[in-house]
Structure 1
Amino acid sequence: MPIRWIRWLVLGVITAATFATVPTGPASADPVDDIPGGLESFYHQQLDWGSCNDAVLDGAGAQCAGVVVPLDYNRPDSRTLTVAISRLPATDPARRHGVMLSNPGGPGGPGLGMMVDLRDRLTPEVRARYDLIGMDPRGIGRSDPVNCALPLPTMLFSAGFDAFGFARDTALAAALAASCVAPDPEKARQITTRNTARDMDIIRSAFGERRLNYYGGSYGTYLGAVYSQMFPQRTDRMVLDSAMDPDRYWIGTYQDMGAVNEAGLDDWANWAARRDADYHFGSSGPQVRAFVEDMIRRAATHPVVGNGYLIDEHTVPMMLLALLSNPQKNADLAEVVRLVADGVSGLPVDLEQLKTKISGGVPMNASGMAAVLCGDRAAPRDPAWYRRNIESVRATQPVFGAFANNITACAFWPDPIEEITAVHNSAPALILQATGDTRTPYQQGLALHEDLTGSRMVTLADTRVHGVLRADLSRCVNETVNTYFRDGTLPDADITCRPDPGSLPDH
């Protein structure tokens, strides 16, 4: 592949898509007796706490440790990995309920610092009861990361408009897969959700806990659901925010993102049209959409390249996708559209400003994302399958269909080491889902709710947002979550919440 293609594609596509200590002694014996064979030393290990060597974590009073886990759980006497975790201890040890582990999503999101942010959404009563635990999952961040030789910021691109563009993405996907697997095939194939769930159970035991409490967002909901299926007697209070349907993970999840992001674009276009005096994209929603679609076509014929960055038909839809997941970012999205439109029209454009606008709060690790997704579920091998799917939705999904159905590195990855997890159990859980979620559509939350028969669902109505538990969005949601974490009390029935007045841009 020409070096200039790699340099162009590496650029500025950010998908976004994403914590005084209490001593913890060793768990002298696993509180639950059925330790899998050969894993006793892992379950009984002592954690060595120290500085996190991170300004935010250290400033928050967190400490960090490494948890040793088997690379291959079928061969626990062979290679090991070290999973990095952080801890913000319960503020009232006398009322401590246990540990609350977390995952920010992705997959590919490092979560070591997640609890520094999440704790601000928890009441003092909840903070008193839990050690808040952040974790970089295996293969990501500080946890013995997979490092693909091809340094792409994302494994996800839009296929563009023609056969040449699709062929370019196919070649890039194949090159990415080879660069991830070839350096260490054994390690690359063991970075999976099921193995991360096993790591979580070792973490639980290392704290001497009988059960695990958990908060997961986006992909983190799938990880939590898999843990509840594999370790049903060891789950306690679980909150699953913006849930994935386990039956559609992961190919179906991306396919479902096409239609909901088209709807999200229409919602944003109507907002921008009411501000035509500011942005000059058009005075009606259809006019704004037409402006955006024409901008992408111009990006195909007049790409912008500079400082290792690329603006073209493959990357622009991903820039839009990064900001459509939160209506509070409407103005940022308008600025991105203006920057891109100016750039493809030949005007000077500040590419560093563009990168700042589209970068997510939790940077995704493309190598870790590829390893987890491709290691969890086999993808179709035939490129023609993807091309047919792309063409079948062009009319109804003109902006996002070529992303939602595009080929990825998984088409060239080795077969998974295990079958995908079928989730169906009665573990209690609180599922949070917005009706207009552009990353994990509402029907996916409904599907997980059916799979987890002991769950309750909180619907955030009439809201285009991914990530429902936010400090400034819905008091109804936050009170429900905090009541559950405080008392272990799920609502008697599913409930519907709404955003607080003034929390979203006016419509």
Structure 2
Amino acid sequence: MARTRQGLAALAVTGLAAGAALITAAVTEPPATAASLDRYYHQRLDWKSCDIPGLDGMGGQCADITVPLNYAEPQGRTTTVVISRIPATDPARRRGVMLSNPGGPGGSGLDYFVDTSKAMTPEVRARYDLIGMDPRGVGRSAAVNCRWPTGFGLQFAGVDAKGFAESVATQSDLAARCAAAEGERLPHMTTRNTARDMDVIRAVLGEDRISYLGTSYGTYLGAVYMQMFPDRADRMVLDGSVDPDRYGVVGMVQDMGAPNEAALDAWAAWTAEHDGEYHLGATAAAVRDRVQRLIARAAAEPIRIGEFDVDAHSLPLVLYIAFDSPQNYGRAAQQIRELADAADGKRIEPDENLAGSLAVILRAQPRDMSPAMAVLCGDVGAPRDPAWYWHNLEAARATQPVFGALANNITPCAFWAPPAESPTAIGNSVPNLIIQATGDTRTNYGGALAMHRALTGSRMVTLQDVAVHSILGRYPNSCVYDAVNTYLADGILPAADLSCRDE
């Protein structure tokens, strides 16, 4: 143990030395004045085809909006934010615009409403122009590209100190790549600036206020907008809410550990019931043991499957990706079956789902998560001492033997420059509706309750005993959908918080 502690102490020094070149003094940006932003708020848009089949098929069009890269210097360098618009189906009853964000951060949102609008009633569709957006630094909006060799900035630490040391080196390298590729832009890829961009979009569209639908990280963005522009917020729906006091790569990811471990138990029980198909174990305990032995096997020697070498840093991410919905349990069982067969020496070509997940995890195809890390690290600073993460990681293994190694691992934010602005303190009385599943594996139920407490004008609709991340358009439930559609159509929030059962 003493030798391990010495090794970790050396890692701390080495890791911080590697990150030192990235550290610059934090700068608090003064707010821009209305006059200095006038040219942005009154620009004219050139609507054109989005070249996205589903969006174009709904009559959607796209436009570029110019915004300041740095709102503290509005006369300086600019950047472009791309938005889409699906017109209200009945202009005579049109109420206004509904902006959106699909989460991430780093999620492209131009076609977000193609599927999500299917959960809306004709009455709601009649009343709103549905506005999608690629936020600054994402997708078509001058995407951040750190040229990462792997797809995820989140990584499992492995099973021992050697695996953790590998993570420290990897995460330091990812941060250094971002600083080299995008250094000048990184301080401005923040949630507060995206909220400012949203208000420019509001003005350019000629609206006094905006309605909004945000999922996952998008709930935090919506809450920040309500905090910064409370008089500009209309009907706001937050689906799968972040804890605003835990927002940031450390708190948010730590909070994923327990619900994902619980989802692993639920999946293991489901898989045991289907042992005749997947042959991973006849009991939940046997399935879980099979997974943990497979991770240990990958730590000793990467598992070759098709063109991929899957190690203990990447194998559990296959389950993490699948566990955002119980609808994916069969897919997860099939993927673990394929990996187990490959570990046994069989020549296996991964199916389309597994190959797609591994391409993202290991090859950054079609894209990496550097836009997400740019926002997370740019919003909230993270501890820099690797030993801090190792202590938390080891403490978590007793109750989270699989997902503790993700929830407490070091990230690129440990080697990032400090944020340019302080995080937004959320606390206001703007009316809004929060919808949340109790088993959410990405933004846990306790976090949604915290958002509910911070937003004193909110009502909360809870979907009981379902482990799904975000509900609207993903997991049909008439109780939840009725509450959302009534609010969006008529502005009527539930008289009290609601509890809905799985259908």
State the partner residue of 2:254.
Answer: 255
Per-residue deviation, 1:365: 4.6
Per-residue deviation, 1:55: 2.5
List aligned pairs for 1:266-277, cutoff 5 A.
266-277=265-276
Aligned residue identity for 1:494: D
Distance in 2, Cα, partners of 1:359 & 1:209: 42
State the partner residue of 1:28.
Answer: none
Asked if structure 2 preserves the Cα contact closer than 8 Å seen for 1:323 and 1:358, the reply is no
1:234 maps to 2:232: yes
1:468 maps to 2:471: yes
Per-residue deviation, 1:436: 0.7
List aligned pairs for 1:327-346, cutoff 5 A.
327-346=326-345
Per-residue deviation, 1:471: 5.7
State the partner residue of 1:356.
Answer: 356
Asked if structure 1 preserves the Cα contact closer than 8 Å seen for 2:186 and 2:374, the reply is yes
Residue correspondences, number: 466
Aligned residue identity for 1:187: R
1:98 maps to 2:96: yes
Secondary structure of the residue aligned to 1:182 is: helix
State the partner residue of 1:325.
Answer: 324
- How does the TM-score come out when normalised to structure 2? 0.90
Distance in 2, Cα, partners of 1:420 & 1:67: 25
**CA shift in 2, pair 1:359/1:248, >3 Å:** farther
Q: 2:154 aligns with which of 138, 153, 156?
A: 156
Secondary structure of the residue aligned to 2:155 is: coil
1:374 maps to 2:377: yes
State the partner residue of 2:24.
Answer: none
List aligned pairs for 1:63-462, cutoff 5 A.
63-250=61-248, 251-305=250-304, 309-351=308-350, 353=352, 354-356=354-356, 365-462=368-465
**Deviations 1:291-316, CA, capped at 9 Å, x for gaps:** 11111111212312467633111111
Asked if structure 1 preserves the Cα contact closer than 8 Å seen for 2:305 and 2:339, the reply is no
State the partner residue of 2:497.
Answer: 494
Secondary structure of the residue aligned to 1:133 is: strand
Per-residue deviation, 1:272: 1.2
Asked if structure 2 preserves the Cα contact closer than 8 Å seen for 1:108 and 1:364, the reply is no
Q: 1:40 aligns with which of 38, 41, 48?
A: 38
Cα RMSD (Å): 1.8
Distance in 2, Cα, partners of 1:364 & 1:97: 37
In structure 2, stretches of 5+ residues that fail to align are 1-31
Distance in 1, Cα, partners of 2:369 & 2:445: 26
Secondary structure of the residue aligned to 2:88 is: coil
Distance in 1, Cα, partners of 2:346 & 2:332: 19
Distance in 1, Cα, partners of 2:428 & 2:149: 39
Asked if structure 1 preserves the Cα contact closer than 8 Å seen for 2:189 and 2:375, the reply is yes
Aligned residue identity for 2:343: V
Secondary structure of the residue aligned to 1:66 is: strand
Question: % of aligned pairs identical?
Answer: 55
Secondary structure of the residue aligned to 2:452 is: helix
Per-residue deviation, 1:200: 0.4
Return 194-203 or 159-168, whichever deviates more.
159-168
**Deviations 1:57-106, CA, capped at 9 Å, x for gaps:** 22332100011000000000000010011110001011111111110101
Per-residue deviation, 1:128: 0.5
In structure 1, stretches of 5+ residues that fail to align are 1-33, 501-507
**CA shift in 2, pair 1:102/1:271, >3 Å:** same
**CA shift in 2, pair 1:84/1:121, >3 Å:** same
Return 179-188 or 401-410, whichever deviates more.
179-188
Distance in 2, Cα, partners of 1:180 & 1:193: 18
Aligned residue identity for 1:243: S
Aligned residue identity for 1:272: T
Asked if structure 2 preserves the Cα contact closer than 8 Å seen for 1:107 and 1:373, the reply is yes
Return 366-375 or 281-290, whichever deviates more.
281-290
Asked if structure 2 preserves the Cα contact closer than 8 Å seen for 1:97 and 1:130, the reply is yes
- How does the TM-score come out when normalised to structure 1? 0.89
Distance in 2, Cα, partners of 1:50 & 1:386: 48
Asked if structure 2 preserves the Cα contact closer than 8 Å seen for 1:120 and 1:471, the reply is no
Asked if structure 1 preserves the Cα contact closer than 8 Å seen for 2:86 and 2:130, the reply is yes
Return 167-176 or 488-497, whichever deviates more.
167-176
Asked if structure 1 preserves the Cα contact closer than 8 Å seen for 2:468 and 2:475, the reply is no
Aligned residue identity for 1:447: A
Aligned residue identity for 1:387: W
Per-residue deviation, 1:117: 1.1
Distance in 2, Cα, partners of 1:358 & 1:434: 28
Return 382-391 or 150-159, whichever deviates more.
150-159
Q: Give the 4+ runs in structure 1 shifted more than 3 A.
A: 305-308, 356-360, 362-365
Asked if structure 1 preserves the Cα contact closer than 8 Å seen for 2:118 and 2:473, the reply is no
Distance in 1, Cα, partners of 2:306 & 2:81: 35
**CA shift in 2, pair 1:472/1:147, >3 Å:** closer
Asked if structure 2 preserves the Cα contact closer than 8 Å seen for 1:322 and 1:358, the reply is no
